Each structure stands twice: as C-alpha cells, then as structure tokens.
Amino acid sequence: MTSSQTSEQRSRNMSRIRSKDTAPELKVRRLVHSLGYRYRLHRKDLPGKPDLVFGPRKKIVEVRGCYWHAHLRYEPGCPEARSPSKSNTGYWGPKMDRNVERDTANLAKLHALGWDVLILWECELRDMESVEDRIRDFLGART
C-alpha cells in the first residue's frame, strides 16, 4: 500500500484479503499432499478453525502470515513482517493485539484438548526443504 491511495482504495484492497486459501497456505498444502499425508481443512469444531488437521494423529499445522499474526513480536528480524500501519493506528494497533491474543488463546485451547500444533510462518516458506523436514518430523510415518 502506498500513501497515495485514497481511503476508499485502501479499504477495497483490505477487504479483498482472504483468511483461507492464502498463497502460503496453498504452498504448504501442496507440499503436505505430495508427501502422502491427508488432512482436513479448517475444521469448525476446533478452536480457531485450524488450517490443516490430521485427525487420527491429533496434529495440526497452522500457516500464519507474518504481517497479520504480528511475527515481528516473536521474531524481530522477520523479513516478511512489515512495520505497523501508519494510517488509522487507533484501529490497526488494537486489531493486531487482538489477533495475537486470539492466536494464543486458540493454541492453549487446542493443547488442552490434546492436539499438537506446528506453526509455520510465511517467512519460513522461503526454505521449503527445511519446512519439509519439520513437517515429516512433526507428523511422523504416514499411515
């Protein structure tokens, strides 16, 4: 986004950002499928409707966008996370805080229900060999 955008243009751009089927999520889904693992998407009966759910294994893979999930708070050197919004900071600051709080609460609920969760950040997808190794280690042998 550039500062030359009108508020209407910016609003239109922001309204088109999706929460499901994002490019990073699709990249991970293709990899997981190519490795022979099968999963369910966005199960509504689980807190936060996780991205990839491996039911019999009680495992979940979450793919998080670095900007929307405030990766800078966890990893100050994240190359994908941009600086906080300079416009409408009264809205976007608290919005990002709520995203982080919701992520933390959902993760705690999932753990309490006995689920193991692997979080993959958008910036980590630059090294898909490493991501593949982490997924194989996390999910174990295919069944």
Closest CA to 103 of 56, 50, 52: 50
What six digits make up the tokens of 78? 């994240």
In three-state secondary structure terms, 53 is strand
Rg (CA), the chain: 16
How many residues in the chain? 143
d(CA 71, CA 100): 9
Kindly tell me if the per-residue pLDDT of 98 is higher than 80. yes
Higher pLDDT, 84 or 29: 29
Span 85-93, average pLDDT: 79
Percentage of the chain beyond pLDDT 90 is: 58
Binned at pLDDT 50, 70 and 90, residue 1 comes out as very low
Helix residue spans in 1-143 (DSSP H): 7-15, 23-34, 89-112, 128-139
* Domain spans, the chain: 21-139
Cα of 72 vs its chain's centroid, Å:
14
Kindly tell me if the per-residue pLDDT of 113 is higher than 80. yes
d(CA 71, CA 65): 8
Give the pLDDT of residue 70: 82
Q: Which top CATH class is 21-139?
A: alpha beta
CB atoms within 10 A of CB 135: 20
Show Cβ contacts of residue 67 under 8 Å, excluding neighbours closer than 6 positions: 80, 81, 82
Cα of 32 vs its chain's centroid, Å:
15
Higher pLDDT, 90 or 132: 132
DSSP state of 86: S
Whole-model pTM: value is: 0.83
Give the pLDDT of residue 17: 59
